[in-house]
């Protein structure tokens, strides 16, 4: 990263941007420091300035100016990235979108919502809940909608409701030269022209800055229940999850946690879960369908040696079961003070999932650094969380070699 040529803003460039952004531009040291890091293990890289735009028009004028002055610019949302997305590797401007935080339109009849990019997932769902609705994509962190669209985020509910690629219907975005574009429609079917919406979703700020997003939303299910089941081996747990999906069982969530993830969650949150390979399920629908789906899942996991199948529809108990999964990342941070977490994000075909998890576990077990494995196994996605001492350069090189081996 240090090989990239840094661009520091001149006094005249800062003044030019200040004419556009006014008090929305900051060169305060603490603000620069905040925008030079995220939740990844990468070292901080500070921007030269931070700008908080308040409208698409302002973003357009900022990008046009930066384009004319050859100033690099990186959008910034909630800063929850685990992979260094928001680090301004060449300096320049960090464009903080959090002031653009309005919910512009909710259409219960169409099951759509239009928001500015800085609206966070939790804030949106708190508002939608008043209408009996919810936005389904749950990556764990309280990320901004713009950031989730830009990274093509997925999460615990992808198996039933899809990722951001399936849930973004339309976008307003600004190209590098300041041109404002509107792509997609709020209709579910759109066959005319190129699918530019899908091109921008997951483009990570390389093609445009997303300023508004129109999303699919859903009615809050009549019934929700959760289940937990444990296995003797990683392979059995992952194979059970794979088989449940292949059999068409209607699960809303299906998450895997290895013994280290459970142990960390127990210590971090005061839980007392047995430290075994564990699957967590959630079922959404009518009471009759939820009960039928849970019974079907239970029968399948028992074929793979699953034991202690616990099923609950109680809201507080359901949230308690899922606490272990939501704590999976943060427990690593809190239990290893001074360390950083190198997070891998791996996706394989379902038929190869059990083999991939076992292979990664075997590779990581040869090394001394702590690690844990968990993920949304029902869609073939899992994470290896590797604890890293940022001051130990030889360990950093070792982890790089390990991640390359896992990906090969």
Contact (CB, 8 A) for 17 and 65: yes
Contact (CB, 8 A) for 77 and 36: no
pTM beyond 0.95, yes or no: no
Per DSSP, the residues of 277-331 read -EEEEEEEE-HHHHHHHHHHHHHHHHHTT-EEEEEE--HHHHHHHHHHHHTHHHH
Q: Was domain 103-219 assigned CATH 3.30.70.100? A: no
How high is the pLDDT of residue 213?
A: 99
Name the DSSP letter for residue 23: G
How high is the pLDDT of residue 3?
A: 63
CATH class of domain segment(s) 223-407: alpha beta
How high is the pLDDT of residue 10?
A: 97
Q: Was domain 11-96 assigned CATH 3.30.43.10? A: yes
How high is the pLDDT of residue 1?
A: 45
Per DSSP, the residues of 219-258 read EPPSEEEEEEEE-SSHHHHHHHHHHHHHTT---SEEEEE-
Structural tokens at position 223: 């019934």
119-135 as b/e: b if 16+ CB within 10 A: bbbebbbebbeeeebbb
Which is it for strands 253-257 and 218-219: parallel, antiparallel or unpaired? unpaired
Structural tokens at position 387: 């604890």
Per residue of the chain (408 residues), give pLDDT as tens. 446 789 999 999 999 999 999 999 999 999 999 999 988 888 899 999 999 999 999 999 999 999 999 999 999 999 988 888 899 999 999 999 999 999 999 999 999 999 999 999 999 999 999 999 999 999 878 999 999 999 999 988 999 999 999 999 999 999 999 999 999 988 777 777 889 999 999 999 999 999 999 999 999 999 999 999 999 999 999 999 999 999 999 999 999 999 999 999 999 888 889 999 999 999 999 999 999 999 999 999 999 999 989 888 888 888 877 877 877 888 888 889 988 899 998 999 999 999 999 999 999 999 999 999 999 888 889 999 999 988 888 998 999 999 999 998
Contact (CB, 8 A) for 62 and 51: yes
How high is the pLDDT of residue 175?
A: 99
Neighbours of 194 (CB within 10 A): 8
What strands, in cross-sheet order, belong to the sheet with 73-76?
A: 25-26, 49-51, 93-96, 73-76
Domain ranges of the chain: 11-96, 103-219, 223-407
**Please, how many CA atoms are within 13 Å of residue 16, restricted to the half-sphere of its CB?**
16
**What distance in Å separates the CA atoms of residue 333 and residue 325, rounded to the nearest whole number?**
14
**What distance in Å separates the CA atoms of residue 380 and residue 154, rounded to the nearest whole number?**
12
Residue with tokens 């430290």: 275
């Amino acid at each position: 990263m240090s090989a990239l040529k840094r661009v520091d803003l001149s006094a005249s460039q800062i003044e030019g941007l200040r004419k556009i952004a006014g008090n929305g531009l900051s060169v305060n040291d603490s603000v620069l420091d905040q925008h030079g890091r995220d939740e990844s293990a990468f070292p901080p890289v500070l921007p030269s300035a931070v700008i908080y735009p308040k409208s698409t028009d302002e973003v357009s004028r900022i990008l046009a100016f930066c384009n004319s002055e050859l100033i690099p610019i990186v959008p910034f949302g909630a800063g929850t990235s685990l992979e260094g997305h928001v680090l301004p590797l060449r300096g320049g401007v960090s464009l903080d979108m959090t002031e653009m935080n309005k919910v512009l339109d909710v259409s219960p009849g169409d099951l759509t919502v239009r928001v500015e990019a800085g609206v966070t997932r939790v804030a949106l769902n708190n508002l939608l809940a008043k209408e009996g609705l919810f936005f389904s994509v749950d990556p764990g962190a309280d990320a901004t909608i713009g950031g989730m669209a830009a990274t093509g985020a997925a999460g615990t509910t992808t198996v039933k409701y899809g990722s951001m690629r399936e849930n973004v219907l339309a976008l307003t975005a600004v190209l590098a030269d300041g041109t404002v574009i509107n792509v997609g429609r709020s209709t579910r079917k759109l066959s005319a022209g190129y699918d530019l919406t899908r091109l921008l979703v997951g483009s990570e700020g390389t093609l445009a800055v997303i300023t508004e997003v129109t999303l699919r939303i859903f009615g809050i299910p009549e019934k929700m229940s959760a289940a937990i089941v444990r296995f003797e081996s990683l392979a059995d747990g992952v194979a059970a999850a794979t088989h449940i999906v292949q059999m068409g069982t209607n699960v809303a969530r299906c998450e895997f946690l290895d013994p280290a993830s459970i142990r960390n969650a127990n210590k971090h949150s005061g839980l007392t879960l047995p430290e075994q390979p564990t699957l967590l399920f959630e079922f959404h629908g009518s009471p009759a369908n939820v009960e039928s789906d849970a019974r079907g899942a239970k029968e399948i996991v028992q074929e793979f040696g699953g034991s202690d199948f616990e099923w609950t529809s109680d809201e507080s108990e359901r949230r308690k079961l899922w606490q272990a999964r939501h704590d999976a990342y943060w427990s690593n941070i809190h239990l290893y003070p001074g360390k950083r977490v190198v997070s891998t994000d791996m996706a394989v075909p379902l038929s190869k999932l059990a083999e991939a998890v076992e292979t990664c576990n075997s590779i990581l077990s040869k090394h001394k650094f702590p690690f844990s494995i968990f993920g949304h196994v029902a869609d073939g996605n899992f994470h290896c969380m590797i604890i890293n001492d940022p001051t130990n350069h030889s360990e950093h090189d070792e982890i790089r070699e390990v991640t390359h081996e896992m990906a090969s």
